[in-house]
Homo-oligomer: A and B are copies of this chain.
């Protein structure tokens, strides 16, 4: 028993190796999805307008489409009278052409009829049967939104990398789009290893515990823009793990295995990796999270996270999630989820390796949760985590630290 970490790395080194591996193994891919379900997805290509907007000259007010020159000398004392030759609402158009002395009754949004170059708004008119009196003069182009005045066919509407908000989705729909090409979510297969792990109540017997990591990792993957799927719980057995990994590699972009954090168990994943591919990292000088493994089989990354749920979640969040975000088209870090707060009390950290602490935020202060690394309560309480660099052994009360929200 006792794991030998043959390729143990400093945190900075590990970050670089992982970044390099992701860069060499993956490139951003796209998929076409329904615009209706696209909120918060990331646009893959610049989008150019396919049609003008407005698509036709459009009335901006309810009133009368006229020739502006017919109104020039109108006043309440000396109104100009025009003959109403048609009436159009939004969604219909008139095939008539307005001649001097004529008007067409028009609703907001309806197309301006031929021969008209202005709208006399209804509030500035008086109607008498088939005639309308203009009470004020209007200049040409008044209350007309011209075809293409907002967007011209070929204009750039949205850029690659834009995140689809309700407004941006609306703008695309105004173009008649039904689908949109967005960054594809990386598909991540999740495997938990351990003879002691069970999912169902019926298997929960003395010596067993419920598998936590599949669930916490799946939701962490979802938040970082990926699509996680729980594949299996694998016993501490070389053949079983190898089989599951081979199956997973066929369907998923990345495999996350957790468990085997101690004893000879981690060696099983190392063996499988050495057998089918290559090991790049075996052990990282961080706490918690030391028994992390990073390997590659063909062109796909297989990452072994610690079995300890706190460690697994922290390693995923700090080392893997930024790359999942990038593949999903998102920025590497989510700024709105990183804030600075003061530390509530002194904090001792381990010398010589970077240490992460789960923390709770209360009254805008950081409360580190000091518990056994196996404690599930920490997971229930924690709002996120802080990172203490390896040089630091003691943090003072009040020290401002970056808080990373889960």
Contact = CB atoms under 8 A, between A and B. Distances in A.
A170 B309 contact: yes
Interface stretch (A4-12, A89-97, A272-280): A89-97
Nearest to A156: B380
Contacts of A354: none
A157 interface: yes
A93 B206 contact: yes
Contacts of A207: 56, 90-93, 110-111
Contacts of A337: 336
Contacts of A214: 173
A194 interface: yes
B213 A170 contact: yes
Interface string A87-115: 00111110000000000000111110000
Interface residues of A, number: 93
A164 interface: yes
Tally of this chain's copies: 2
A231 interface: no
Interface in A191-241: 194-197, 201, 204, 206-220, 222-223, 230, 235-236
Contact of A91 (B54, B194, B230, B336): B194
Interface stretch (A69-77, A244-252, A370-378): A370-378
Nearest to A228: B36
Nearest to A209: B55
Given A56-B207, A174-B376, 11 more contacts: A1-B62, A55-B209, A89-B263, A90-B195, A151-B377, A165-B383, A170-B216, A170-B376, A171-B212, A171-B377, A173-B210
19 contacts: A36-B230, A39-B223, A60-B374, A62-B263, A90-B207, A91-B195, A91-B208, A91-B236, A93-B206, A111-B206, A157-B377, A165-B406, A166-B223, A169-B216, A170-B215, A171-B376, A171-B379, A174-B210, A174-B309
